[in-house]
Structure 1
Amino acid sequence: MVQLPNYLDYSGGSIQRQINPYADNGGSVVAIAGDDFVVIGADTRLSSGFSIFTREQNKLFPLSSTTILGCAGCWCDTLTLTRILKSRMQMYQQEHNKTMSTVACAQMLSTILYYKRFFPYYISNILVGLDNEGKGCVYSYDPIGHCEKATYRAGGSAGALLQPLLDNQIGQKNILNPSTEPLTQEKALATLKDVFISAAERDIYTGDSVSIKIITKNGIKEDTFDLRRD
């Protein structure tokens, strides 16, 4: 008997072919804001399925001296989106002779995402910075550009695991004796490290190490710490 190739159908029926234009390269992003600072961290593992492409991929993109964008998801979409944002920032700088504020940058990102609503970027975006009053702010987005301002947010492959922890530790929700003390930079940094350690235990797409950036009125400071590598 002659074996026919599986892509040929001589019965007269139609054959359906599906192409997925997206790829999920994993990764998680966490941001926590205080009265005069904001901390954002992202893991450095870039993977697909059970294959790790690199363990040292930075997913935090500085847009200005007070604004940083964290991205997790499809890496090719991330590169495209960040290049568009940086070019728009340069155009604004040259036209108005000043740097775009964090609030304006957040609105611009929302507009760009909405423009691509029929073929959206497959990215979890979290934009952080200092607002016009010098307070830390965190903006999170859905794929078509809906923007929500908050003081803490988790996104990416482990976002559903990390957000309840942030609700409890930072938002003081579902707790018997909530603290009334203001959030300090040290506590925010320690909490960010703790939630990433927890995520690395449960999510195979989050691991290796975490890149951290701390934004204050004095500029941006960088930090890093290692996670499990298996």
Structure 2
Amino acid sequence: MKKEHASFNPYDNNGGTCVAIAGADYCVIAADTRMSSGYNILTRDYSKVCKLADKCLLASSGFQADVKALQKVLGARHLIYQHQHNKQMSCPAMAQLLSNTLYYKRFFPYYAFNVLGGLDDEGKGVVYTYDAVGSYEKVGYSSQGSGSTLIMPFLDNQLKSPSPLLLPPQDAVTPLSEAEAVDLVKTTFVSAAERDIYTGDKLEIVILNADGIRREYMDLRKD
């Protein structure tokens, strides 16, 4: 099957796709391992998921030099926080720090599109999705990157997230079990890899729950 691509893609420089799903007691964050520039694959084994704290993970697509710079800034500020408070940041606090960091650079922004996920203080899964200048939203699931336009309609169809305008506010976490969420992530990436030339090679899935962090890998299309 021939893959489709646009003549211009804002994720063209290094590309990639990431997905996060929050559950009642877990969070799943996944990203492909392909890093490309245009039609050139720079590497087929590059992790786009970064551990910021024991209960907080960041997945980023976009220009990977800016992503690394952003991760370095977050790591330094988190280290300062630990020295001052003798504890790690919570996931909601890290979400606000990421928003502030991106907004500080809004006039010359990091070319990075982020999904942050983890567990809150009650052990419930949380996902935050961002634009390039720091606007963010707490959601039950999200996708960023070149394959997000293919993945988000599918996730909307499968998970049927309640509107944030509903009153009283609805819980954002998805009703899936951890195993079902992992299977859904695998399905979305297999589908996206068929149509998006910047997504492929291998899928890295990081599962965060009360027991800690574990990783799973699955092969995707390599062409």
TM-score category (smaller protein)? 0.7 to 0.9
Offset, 1:73? 0.6
Q: Is the CA contact 2:14–2:35 (under 8 Å) kept in the aligned structure 1?
A: yes
Q: Secondary structure at the match of 1:222?
A: strand
Q: Is the CA contact 2:127–2:140 (under 8 Å) kept in the aligned structure 1?
A: yes
| Partner Cα distance (2:106, 2:175) in 1 | 39
Corresponding residue for residue 221 of structure 1 = 214
Corresponding residue for residue 128 of structure 1 = 117
| Structure 2: runs of 5 or more not aligned | 1-10, 163-173
Say whether residues 1:199 and 2:192 are aligned partners. yes
Corresponding residue for residue 119 of structure 1 = 108
| Structure 1: runs of 5 or more not aligned | 1-21, 174-180
Q: Is the CA contact 2:51–2:58 (under 8 Å) kept in the aligned structure 1?
A: yes
Corresponding residue for residue 108 of structure 1 = 97
> After superposition, where does 1:1-230 map in structure 2 within 5 Å?
24-171=13-160, 182-230=175-223
**Is the alpha carbon distance of 1:116 and 1:220 closer, same or farther for their aligned partners in structure 2, counting shifts above 3 Å?**
same
Offset, 1:131? 0.8
Larger radius of gyration: 1
Q: Is the CA contact 2:35–2:44 (under 8 Å) kept in the aligned structure 1?
A: yes
| Partner Cα distance (1:132, 1:216) in 2 | 12
Offset, 1:123? 1.0
Offset, 1:126? 0.3
Offset, 1:183? 1.3
Q: Is the CA contact 2:12–2:36 (under 8 Å) kept in the aligned structure 1?
A: no
| Partner Cα distance (1:107, 1:72) in 2 | 19
Offset, 1:146? 0.5
Offset, 1:124? 1.0
Offset, 1:184? 0.5
Q: Is the CA contact 2:140–2:161 (under 8 Å) kept in the aligned structure 1?
A: no
The one-letter amino acid paired with 1:79 is K
What is the percent sequence identity of the aligned residues? 50
Q: Secondary structure at the match of 1:228?
A: coil
Deviation readout 1:83-114 (Å, 9 max, x if unpaired):
00111111111111000000000000000000
Q: Secondary structure at the match of 1:63?
A: strand
Deviation readout 1:125-169 (Å, 9 max, x if unpaired):
000000111110100001110010001001100111100000011
| Partner Cα distance (1:115, 1:217) in 2 | 33
| Partner Cα distance (1:80, 1:90) in 2 | 16
Corresponding residue for residue 17 of structure 1 = none
| TM, length-normalised to structure 1 | 0.85
| Partner Cα distance (2:12, 2:104) in 1 | 21
| TM, length-normalised to structure 2 | 0.88
Offset, 1:171? 2.1
Q: Secondary structure at the match of 1:29?
A: strand
